[in-house]
Amino acid sequence: MAAPGGTNYTVMRILQNPRQIAQAQTGQAAWRAGTARPSSPSPSPTLAMKAGLSMSDNKTLEANKALVRRNFEVIWSACDLKAVDTLIATDYIGHIATLPQPVRGAEAFKQLVMMFHIASPNIRFEIQDQIAEGSQVATRWIAHGTHQGEFMGIAPSGQSLAVTGTSFHRIENGLIQESWDDWDALSMLQNMTQDVFQSLSMRF
């Protein structure tokens, strides 16, 4: 016989107690009938988080994604340039796929935003997906607008624009420190110069 507290000792105590026997039989009958199920253990809070990350790590990742979303919603879509001072680092560096040199500094970033809003005052950015890891946030987006102003020497065409793109932002001290941005520039230019492309296609 096992020592008190062991498995055999517990079984013998149940067999010596008629009430416990009845309870055990009732439970088994209910289980066979499908009216009772063993209770599942409460999920651990850590299971709801990414593997290997603490709760504070997850909060940081969510805060970084929220910062980037605010950048798209308040700065790029609403053209609130005052928000640049609270969201973008003063020594920000932007690697823009269509520009030969990086955009350096918050003031240069404001000029970039203004260039797009002069060309399309109603431009709006819609976030399709976001993934955060470490200090970086990857965002897949689509921008909608109308070509109502000059853009890089291209006269306004009145054409509707729908441009897809991706951006990678590096966050430092709660601010956007650096970004890498790429989008379907060819599709955007084709929409802006649709008449030119149509006239060229008619010649061939």
Residue 21 is predicted with a pLDDT of 40
Q: pLDDT value at position 48?
A: 40
pLDDT at 149 (0 to 100): 93
pLDDT of residue 137: 98
Asked, for residue 112, whether it belongs to a domain, the answer is: yes
* CA distance linking residue 195 with residue 94, whole number of Å: 32
In a domain, 39, yes or no: no
To which residue do tokens 């609403």 refer? Answer: 78
Number of domains comprising the chain = 1
Residue 6 lies in a domain: no
The answer to whether residue 167 sits within a structural domain is yes
Instruction: For residue 104, give every residue at least 6 positions away whose Cβ sits within 8 Å of its Cβ, in sequence order, or none.
Output: 91, 92, 93, 94
Structure token pair of residue 145:
């607008």
Each residue's pLDDT expressed in tens, for the chain with a length of 204 residues: 444 444 443 434 434 444 444 444 444 444 344 444 444 444 433 334 455 567 778 899 999 999 999 999 999 999 999 999 999 999 999 999 889 999 999 999 999 999 999 999 999 999 999 999 999 999 999 999 999 999 888 899 999 999 999 999 999 999 999 999 999 988 877 878 765 444 434 443
Q: Does 68 map to a domain?
A: yes
Best CA proximity match to 162, nearest among 146, 148, 144, 147: 144
Q: Backbone phi, then psi, for 131, in 5-degree steps?
A: -135, 135
pTM above 0.75, yes or no: no
Domain span at residue 88? 57-203
The answer to whether residue 42 is domain-embedded is no
Whether 91 is in a domain gets the answer yes
Domain harbouring 198, CATH code? 3.10.450.50
Distance CA 193, CA 147 (A): 10
161-182 exposure pattern, b = at least 16 Cβ within 10 A, e = fewer: bebebebbbbbeeebbbbbbbe
Residue 25 lies in a domain: no
The residues with which 93 forms a beta bridge, in sequence order, are 104, 178
pLDDT of residue 188: 79
Model pLDDT, residue 51: 53
